[in-house]
Amino acid sequence: MSNRHITHSFPADFSAEPALPSTVGRCSECPIRHNAVCSQCESTELQQLENIKYYRSFAPGQPIVWRGDRMEHVASVVSGVASISQSMEDGRTQMVGLLMGGDFIGRPGREVAPYDVTAVSAVTLCCFRRRPFETLLMTTPNVARRLLEIALDELDAAREWMLLLGRKTAREKIASLLVLIARRSHVPGTARTTPFELPLTREMMGNYLGLTLETVSRQISALKAAGVIEADGNRAISVPDMARLRAEAGEDDFASGGH
Amino acid sequence: MSNRHITHSFPADFSAEPALPSTVGRCSECPIRHNAVCSQCESTELQQLENIKYYRSFAPGQPIVWRGDRMEHVASVVSGVASISQSMEDGRTQMVGLLMGGDFIGRPGREVAPYDVTAVSAVTLCCFRRRPFETLLMTTPNVARRLLEIALDELDAAREWMLLLGRKTAREKIASLLVLIARRSHVPGTARTTPFELPLTREMMGNYLGLTLETVSRQISALKAAGVIEADGNRAISVPDMARLRAEAGEDDFASGGH
DNA sequence: CGCGATTTTGAAAGATCTCAACATCTGTGG
DNA sequence: CCACAGATGTTGAGATCTTTCAAAATCGCG
């Protein structure tokens, strides 16, 4: 086991961008209105959230939270992609979650962040200070209930990923990741063969899949060569036959939920 | 990748043992009173739980839940050890959680079980029918709050395990498992070098760690040879120097919480 | 257009798995 | 109480997959 993963390479600059213009401010027009922590709120509750929220933006590569930080806030991802990761002292890193629109960061009742969260693309967060949010949790059951749902969904996703990390081959891992990203970035109403963008570098994919970046690259090349996927440049992928890709991922037809 | 993991080998017999004698019935004397889903309940709430609970026991190896089963119940583990696992069509299996006293099985709002749960040792569960339990969740915030805490703790544990599965070497994996089991089975007040019992076969350990049983066996032998652990028979282990074992596990001193 | 970051590809090393044989444990029946 | 059978665990040798190290190609951006 070597030290070659040590490349954290985050910019030392820790400051967030200024808040977005107020045009994004209305909860009722929020892009994540229907899947975030607020999705089950009635208008009264929504108003309470509206009163204590504010936006922050992060540039690609910027750290959002470091493990060990005091967590003074919780937040929902409004747009962009962020990663949750854990790492060992020698630099080996494992991404343990991929946060996209509607996903929640932070946890009530926890002072200190248990993982690193990093902006992968440009990210906008809808933030709440932790204390007022916790108070709100006590009084608005619809937020508490949704938060439990979100936590349980993430637990399912984490456990599905454990099967991948522990038992799948490199090729199955890559296919599984592509299925995940295709599903997550699919816009309802468009064709299932619509090309999508890989938001991650090969190194990040490796960190998510428990592989080296070279193995990631080789397996993507192999899937291309086998005609399972088609690539336009390095980041745009299209999947002519999603069922075939799912088969390559070793997915039980059963397990298509989650994530 | 072969089919050699296909050995499910559960007894066809699916029936639970009869309920325990009523001497175990009082919540106030329950061994998991202080860490289960009911731990934050006041006596009124406890009485409500008491009214709808009942016990079931399972013999070692018996399935408790199959993936895809309709879940009519939720439950807490009162005693014994159970495993949560996922598997692929070809039989490859990944254990995704180890349930011990106080841990919770099932989830409100979910009809169908997403994983297999199996008794590892003799297990006693404190069960609730799902519907009444869900109703109770709406009315007793202390249960709902504790359930969220439990879910978030499990999420942390799952993510810590993802680092293990994705990035640790076989030796580190074994050492990590031993640290986990030692911590979980440690009786407060006893010496930290007190021997403990491995509740899992080599095959189960392999399924938890993403290894084959042969690799598990070899690495345990290696740790013995290195003097990191001492064994009395196949299942009893003692750890003369826990810090040394933790170092072998590649654990950040930071990350000793969780589980 | 040029430079640093990212990606691809090759060849060799290393870790874990596979297959196989044998040893040990556990519980049962004689 | 012992012997036996099946389950569980250990060990060896070779195969396989992924990583490592290295070099070259390509991308993306100023």
pLDDT digits (tens, 9 = 90+) for A210-243: 999 999 999 999 999 999 999 988 888 999 999 9
Tens digits of residue pLDDT in B34-92: 999 999 998 888 998 999 999 999 999 999 999 999 999 999 999 999 999 999 999 99
pLDDT bin (cut points 50, 70, 90) of residue B147 is very high
Q: What is the dihedral of CA A14, A19, A24, A25, to 10 degrees?
A: 120
Task: Tell me if chain B has a CB within 8 Å of the CB of A254.
Answer: yes
Residue A212 vs residues A158, A219, B161: alpha-carbon distances, Å:
20, 11, 19
Tens digits of residue pLDDT in B175-221: 999 999 999 888 888 888 889 999 999 999 999 999 999 999 999 99
CA-to-C1' span, A114 to D28 (A): 34
Between helices A141-167 and A43-52, what is the axis angle to 10°? 70
* Average pLDDT, integer, range B15-21: 43
Owner of token pair 């120097």:
B241
Q: What pLDDT, on the 0 to 100 scale, is given for residue B77?
A: 96
Across the interface, of B68, B89, B151, the residue whose CB is closest to A148 is B151
Tens digits of residue pLDDT in B210-240: 999 999 999 999 999 999 999 988 889 999 9
Which of A107-111, A139-143, A146-150: highest mean pLDDT?
A146-150
Is the pLDDT at A179 greater than 60, yes or no? yes
Q: What pLDDT, on the 0 to 100 scale, is given for residue A25?
A: 74
Q: What pLDDT, on the 0 to 100 scale, is given for residue B89?
A: 93
CA-to-C1' span, A200 to C19 (A): 39
Question: Does A4 contact strand D, using a CB cutoff of 7 Å?
Answer: yes
User: Which of B2, B137, B152, B168 to probe by mutation at the A interface, max A CB count within 10 Å?
Assistant: B152
Q: What pLDDT, on the 0 to 100 scale, is given for residue A22?
A: 43
Residue of B nearest to A1 (CA): B169
Q: What pLDDT, on the 0 to 100 scale, is given for residue A192?
A: 79
pLDDT bin (cut points 50, 70, 90) of residue B132 is very high
Which A residues 84-103 touch B at CB under 8 Å? 84, 86-90, 92-94, 96-97
Instruction: Spell out a b/e string for A131-166, using b for 16 or more CB atoms within 10 Å of the CB, else e.
Output: eebeebbeebbebbbbbbbbbbbbbbbbbbbbbbbb
Residue A79 amino acid letter: S
Take residue A103 and report the two structure tokens written for it: 């996903």
Q: Do B165 and A109 touch (CB under 8 A)?
A: no
Is the pLDDT at A12 greater than 70, yes or no? no
Residue B78 vs residues A30, B31, B102, B125: alpha-carbon distances, Å:
45, 7, 6, 5
| CA-based nearest residue to A73, from A138, A17, A117 | A117
Q: Do B86 and A160 touch (CB under 8 A)?
A: yes
Which residues, listed in sequence order, are joined to residue A87 by a DSSP beta bridge?
Answer: A93
Sign of CA dihedral A254, B76, B150, A131: positive
* Nearest nucleotide (CA of A204 to C1'): C6
Q: Report the 10 Å Cβ neighbour count for B191.
A: 9
pLDDT bin (cut points 50, 70, 90) of residue B155 is very high
Q: What pLDDT, on the 0 to 100 scale, is given for residue B24?
A: 53
Q: Do A84 and B159 touch (CB under 8 A)?
A: yes
Tens digits of residue pLDDT in A36-93: 999 999 888 899 899 999 999 999 999 999 999 999 999 999 999 999 999 999 999 9
* Nearest nucleotide (CA of A1 to C1'): D19
Q: What pLDDT, on the 0 to 100 scale, is given for residue A254?
A: 57
Task: Tell me if chain A has a CB within 8 Å of the CB of B149.
Answer: yes
Q: What pLDDT, on the 0 to 100 scale, is given for residue B233?
A: 83
Q: Give me chain B's average pLDDT, please.
A: 87
Q: What pLDDT, on the 0 to 100 scale, is given for residue A235?
A: 84
| CA-based nearest residue to A196, from A246, A248, A227, A233 | A233
Question: Does A234 contact strand D, using a CB cutoff of 7 Å?
Answer: yes
Across the interface, of A149, A159, A209, the residue whose CB is closest to B109 is A149
Residue of B nearest to A90 (CA): B250
What pTM was computed for the model? 0.90
**For residues B20 and B198, which has the higher predicted lDDT (pLDDT)?**
B198
Contacts of B111 in chain A (CB under 8 A): none
**For residues B254 and A193, which has the higher predicted lDDT (pLDDT)?**
A193
Which B residues 220-249 touch A at CB under 8 Å? none
Q: What pLDDT, on the 0 to 100 scale, is given for residue B192?
A: 80
* Nearest nucleotide (CA of B202 to C1'): D9
* Average pLDDT, integer, range B10-21: 39
Contacts of B156 in chain A (CB under 8 A): 114
Q: What pLDDT, on the 0 to 100 scale, is given for residue A251?
A: 87
Q: What pLDDT, on the 0 to 100 scale, is given for residue A253?
A: 66
Q: Report the 10 Å Cβ neighbour count for A99.
A: 24
* Nearest nucleotide (CA of B61 to C1'): D7
Q: What pLDDT, on the 0 to 100 scale, is given for residue B253?
A: 66
Is the pLDDT at A126 greater than 90, yes or no? yes
Output phi, psi for A139, to 5 deg: -100, -20
List, in order, residues 6 or more apart from A61 with CB less than 8 Å away. Answer: A9, A10, A11, A118, A119
Protein-proximal nucleotides of chain C (any atom < 7 Å from a CB): 6-11, 15-20, 24-26
Question: Does A169 contact strand D, using a CB cutoff of 7 Å?
Answer: yes
Owner of token pair 């297999």:
B116
Is the pLDDT at A198 greater than 70, yes or no? yes
